[in-house]
Structure 1
Amino acid sequence: MADIVITEFMDEAAVGRLVQAHDTVYDPKLVDDPAALHEHLASARALIVRNRTQVDETLLGMGPKLRVVGRLGVGLDNIDVAACKARSVKVIPATGANDLSVAEYVITSALMLLRGAFLRSAEVAAGDWPRQSMMGRELAGKTIGLVGYGSIAREVAWRAHMMGMQIVACDPYLMADHPGWQIARNVSLDAVLELSDVVSLHTPLTDATRNMIDARALSSMKPGAVLINAARGGIVDEAALAETLKAGKLAGAALDVFETEPLTAEAGAKFKGLSNLVLTPHIAGVTDESNERVSHLIADKVLEVLGSKA
């Protein structure tokens, strides 16, 4: 019977450490097999998930012996934290372990979208030579606006600053004397949208942030600005974004997260034909290096809770 159940992909070496210490079931397909998951959770004291496993009342009821939930990432919108607390189940996110990967994704997306040329390889391969229309813009001298100014956004800010960008940010929860404000102007959300050439989202998905970037917000952005969402699906009104891009009111967007995940063909149909849009499958925080960091951090924390095998 399993002490530890891992429902989504994890670094093999980190899994090996858990296997050596406790009876461990590792099956990345468990997230899509409720019956098997139910069976394994009956004896489990630890559950390790990414973002697809919904740790809600129903799942918690399947694991009466659970003591800890390890999250291979930082967002907790798929975990009912209050329900876990009520059952004395400790929730441990991998805070900080994938900040660098997300920051690099944001900077890369900004470079791609402002330059534009990287999205038009097919034209060059077909024998066209559209040099003037593919000139694009530089990052240096532009303004990046960060909606939310937590640890990941601050990693973005330092890199943007070193590349010659101006930085504005809004975050009502970050103290005014935090060192991060030394390189960023503390402004309102409306000001971030109005001033920025690049807007990058860094907030959790809550009732307050759901569809925060709607048609009105998009219309207040600079013509020619770009939008990047590597935070959480649902913060951006995807239909409104698609219409805004089709109308040419923004230069482009990059979405790593979606209202529906995995993104289905039906849900993705609204994006069809958009050449100024980068879509990726929730991988901004997942690189070979960050996967190792995240996995070993969670392995360490779970082993601290469970202790050595009896």
Structure 2
Amino acid sequence: MMDIKTYNVIAEEGLAEFPKKIYTINQSQRPDALLIRSQDMHKTPFGTNILAIARAGAGVNNIPLVTATDMGTVVFNTPGSNANAVKELIVAMLLLASRPVVPAINWAHKLGGADVSLQTEKGKDHFAGTELLGKSIGVVGLGSVGSRVAKATADLGMKVIGYDPYISVEHAWQLSSDIPRAETLEELLEQSDFVTIHIPYTDRNHNLIGAKQIEQMRDGAVLLNYSRGGIVDDAAVLRALDAGKISQFMTDFGTPALAANKKVIVTPHLGGTTEEAEVNGARMAAQTLRRYLETGNINNSVNFPSVDMPFEAPLRLTLIHRNVPNMVGRITTILANYNLNIDNMINRSREQIAYTVIDMAAIPTEQFEEIRTELMTIPEVIRVRILKNPITFQ
């Protein structure tokens, strides 16, 4: 049996992905894997017994990736599981940026007396807005969310400009050929009435939109950040709002200073907060965990290379190790000393870490620990697992 420890509220549909004959949920003091959402793992200790951490969501800034990698703990996320939810919220925010719907509703609720209809008719001109049709929108980041935002806003009749120097082939194919892509961020900013950010937070992206970039934007433009805090320099935004350079800032990542500014609309991290997104994320995270725990295959990891090899032999050996020369040779030499035949093998690396999967014939159970112990004597080896076939994963 393997135990999965959960943090936060995980949708039952996700937990149901773990068969009770193989898994328990929150029943062990030494769980095999963690399934989380927003839990801050920087402040939550986890031991080397944790084989994997799956985040039901795209962002993993709440997980210490360097520590996890050094411990041989594979970290997964669920890219795209909340993409539709974020896309729909962006559409809603664009509409709110163009039409003062909320102030109009608040005004109407304060009306009283028998002439409410007449008052409404006379007062509505104070809440005139503009239309999105024909306006230009720059979409920074064309991944799971950005590509959907680009399509949705194009369907609304907006002129879409995309920018993503790191776009994957998969997402490139999903984009309409009618959507032009800017060569530089500056080019996008100069042409956009609205700018919406959809890239992951990295050290390289910190304050990607700062004072210099805001100065490159059109006067009166609207800026939206529904990606991650830290990508936009909030202080620079507030200065630009006060100066009238940009007209509105809409974000899911509020601060007291932002919330106090009337030209800022702060939503309380609503991007992926829908019932459907939470179910999608939980299911995807659970399926990813199962695939790794039962087959050793890695998909959607943010700190380890992707490996997907059919499990067709009686046994599978998986090794997490440092990415240094001759590791495969040292590993196979030990196996050869036990007269073990290798049926299939794959080795993949990602920066300083590597992952080797070896399928082989059956061996006596009593040899498992002996082989594992000898492989662990290689200084660069971090973790060794021996998996038995058949696998119940569907």
TM-score tier by shorter-chain length is 0.7 to 0.9
Q: 1:13 to 1:149 in 2, by over 3 A?
A: closer
Residue 107 (structure 1) aligned with residue 91 (structure 2): yes
Aligned-partner Cα distance in 1 for 2:168–2:286: 32
* Structure 2 counterparts to residues 281-292 of structure 1, below 5 A: 281-292=268-279
Q: 1:212 to 1:120 in 2, by over 3 A?
A: farther
The amino acid of 1:157's aligned partner reads: A
Contact 1:147 1:201 survives alignment (8 Å): yes
**Counterpart in the other structure of 1:4:** 4
Q: Mind listing any 5+ residue stretches in structure 2 that lack a counterpart?
A: 112-118, 295-390
Residue 143 (structure 1) aligned with residue 130 (structure 2): no
Q: Once structures 1 and 2 are overlaid, which stretch shifts more, 71-80 or 289-298?
A: 71-80
Q: TM-score, normalised by structure 1?
A: 0.81
Contact 1:51 1:75 survives alignment (8 Å): no
- 1:186 pairs, out of 160, 163, 181, with 181
Q: How far does residue 289 in structure 1 lie from its aligned partner after superposition?
A: 0.8
Q: How far does residue 14 in structure 1 lie from its aligned partner after superposition?
A: 2.2
Q: 1:251 to 1:132 in 2, by over 3 A?
A: farther
Aligned-partner Cα distance in 2 for 1:183–1:87: 46
- Structure with the larger RCO, 1 or 2 (CA within 8 Å, 6+ apart): 1
Q: TM-score, normalised by structure 2?
A: 0.65
Q: What is the RMSD computed on CA atoms of the aligned residues?
A: 2.7
The amino acid of 1:173's aligned partner reads: Y
Aligned-partner Cα distance in 1 for 2:221–2:132: 12
* Structure 2 counterparts to residues 159-238 of structure 1, below 5 A: 159-174=152-167, 178-179=172-173, 180=175, 182-187=177-182, 188-238=184-234
Instruction: Name the SS for the 1:121 alignment partner.
Output: helix
Aligned-partner Cα distance in 2 for 1:107–1:77: 26
Q: How far does residue 22 in structure 1 lie from its aligned partner after superposition?
A: 2.4
Contact 1:140 1:164 survives alignment (8 Å): yes
Q: 1:270 to 1:278 in 2, by over 3 A?
A: closer
Q: How many residues align?
A: 283
Q: How far does residue 284 in structure 1 lie from its aligned partner after superposition?
A: 0.5
The amino acid of 1:71's aligned partner reads: R
Specify which structure has the higher proportion of helix: 1
Q: 1:74 to 1:270 in 2, by over 3 A?
A: closer
Q: 1:6 to 1:19 in 2, by over 3 A?
A: farther
* Structure 2 counterparts to residues 1-310 of structure 1, below 5 A: 3-18=3-18, 20=20, 21-25=22-26, 43-54=30-41, 56=42, 59=44, 62-127=46-111, 130-174=123-167, 178-179=172-173, 180=175, 182-187=177-182, 188-258=184-254, 267-274=255-262, 276-307=263-294
Q: How far does residue 105 in structure 1 lie from its aligned partner after superposition?
A: 1.0
Q: 1:269 to 1:19 in 2, by over 3 A?
A: farther
> Sequence identity of aligned pairs in percent?
28
Aligned-partner Cα distance in 1 for 2:281–2:66: 23
Q: Once structures 1 and 2 are overlaid, which stretch shifts more, 217-226 or 155-164?
A: 217-226
Q: How far does residue 2 in structure 1 lie from its aligned partner after superposition?
A: 8.3
Q: 1:88 to 1:175 in 2, by over 3 A?
A: closer
Aligned-partner Cα distance in 2 for 1:117–1:257: 22
Contact 2:151 2:176 survives alignment (8 Å): no
Q: How far does residue 175 in structure 1 lie from its aligned partner after superposition?
A: 6.3
Contact 2:150 2:162 survives alignment (8 Å): no
Contact 1:114 1:226 survives alignment (8 Å): no
Aligned-partner Cα distance in 1 for 2:268–2:15: 23
**Counterpart in the other structure of 2:332:** none
Contact 2:136 2:194 survives alignment (8 Å): yes
Aligned-partner Cα distance in 2 for 1:175–1:47: 28
Contact 1:4 1:24 survives alignment (8 Å): yes
Contact 1:147 1:200 survives alignment (8 Å): yes
Q: How far does residue 252 in structure 1 lie from its aligned partner after superposition?
A: 1.6
Aligned-partner Cα distance in 1 for 2:79–2:240: 34
The amino acid of 1:305's aligned partner reads: Y
Q: 1:172 to 1:285 in 2, by over 3 A?
A: same
Q: How far does residue 91 in structure 1 lie from its aligned partner after superposition?
A: 1.6
Q: 1:306 to 1:178 in 2, by over 3 A?
A: closer
Specify which structure has the higher proportion of strand: 2
